[in-house]
Amino acid sequence: MKKLEQLYEGKAKKVFATEDPNVVIVDYKDDATAFNGLKKGTIAGKGVINNKMSNFMMRRLEEAGVPTHYIEQLSDRETAVKKVTILPLEVIVRNISAGSFAKHYGVKEGIVFDEPTIEFSYKNDDLGDPLLNAYHAVALKLATWEEIELVKKYTFMVNDFLKSYLKGIGIDLVDFKIEFGKTADGQIVLADEISPDTCRLWDEKTHEKLDKDRFRRDMGQVEDAYQEVMRRLMGE
């Protein structure tokens, strides 16, 4: 598959056109940002790990019945995916309190919930990705009710799968953010990525953080944490 012109450059990925108008190539970078781009840095090898982990999970999610944008991994950092229009919604699931949840509601991190929570934020950097509910999303025409229902259904399927898969390799899935897109023929598919950039992953025994919080909070051993997830996942 040939890489044509660059269509877009985001914080962690570049997107290129291909000869097929329905297919684009995603190229994962080592650049890391946090706090809406205020904190910038590099995590050596992150692009390779995020590309491989995301593809690994997307392949299995497809098998589990969640449609995804994934087509084919092309190299360590590059993957062919279906071209989609991203729904401007960040969908966040939480199994354990952490991050903005702990801050907003004044609770400690690490409270295990009886059931997962779901929330949406409006994907808009200028506004700082504000929280919104489904009514707001429909009012703003970010999605239809049908799309929201499908997004919720797929999101809980993703949580069920990821949570139990990660538990099998000694990792607690604390929370994560996913995004969905719409293909040219109107299908809603899981898009973007599933990686230590977008999930909070804690070692089930030591509760050591194996995710981007190490970068956000200047905890050190950031590369080691990403590598550890990769090693447990794929033996690499």
What CA–CA distance (Å, rounded) separates 198 from 178?
A: 7
Q: Quick check: 223 binds ligand UDP (CB under 6 A)?
A: no
Task: Tell me how far, at minimum, the Cβ of 186 lies from ligand UDP, in Å.
Answer: 26
DSSP symbol at 166: H
Between 15 and 23, CB nearer to ligand UDP:
15
Q: Does 163 bind ligand UDP (CB under 6 A)?
A: no
157/91 Cα distance (integer angstroms)? 13
> Residue 63's CB: how many other CB atoms inside 10 A?
9
Encoded one letter per residue, x for contact with ligand UDP by CB under 6 A and - for no contact, window 44-83 reads ----------------------------------------
> Residues near 168 by Cβ (< 8 Å), separated by ≥ 6?
none
- DSSP for 185-225, written as a single string: T--EEEES--STTTEEEEETTT--B-STHHHHTT-S-HHHH
Q: Which residue lies nearer to ligand UDP by CB, 74 or 134?
A: 134
**158: alpha, beta or left? (left if phi > 0; alpha if psi -120 to 50):** alpha
99 touches 77 (CB < 8 A): no
Nearer to ligand UDP, 71 or 92 (CB): 92
- Rounded to a whole number of angstroms, the minimum distance from the CB of residue 80 to ligand UDP is 23
Binder of ligand UDP out of 13, 77, 82, 212 (CB under 6 A): 212
Question: Can residue 129 be called a binding residue for ligand UDP (CB under 6 A)?
Answer: yes
Quick one: which of 177, 179, 191, 194 contacts ligand UDP (CB under 6 A)? Answer: 177
Residues in the interface with ligand UDP (CB under 6 A) total 14
Closest CB to ligand UDP: residue number = 99
Which residue among 89, 188, 199, 222 contacts ligand UDP (CB under 6 A)?
199
Comparing CA positions, the residue from 101, 103, 121 lying closest to residue 113 is: 101
Rule CB under 6 A: is residue 175 a binding residue for ligand UDP? yes
Query: Is residue 92 within the footprint of ligand UDP (CB under 6 A)?
Result: yes
> Cα separation of 201 and 232, whole Å?
12
Give the CA angle between residues 95, 132, 103 to the nearest 5°: 50
Q: Is residue 225 near ligand UDP by the rule CB under 6 A?
A: no
Task: Figure out which of the listed residues 54, 97, 155, 198 binds ligand UDP, where binding follows CB under 6 A.
Answer: 198
CB count within 10 Å of CB 59 equals 13
Give the binding site for ligand UDP (CB under 6 A): 90, 92, 98-101, 129, 175-177, 198-200, 212
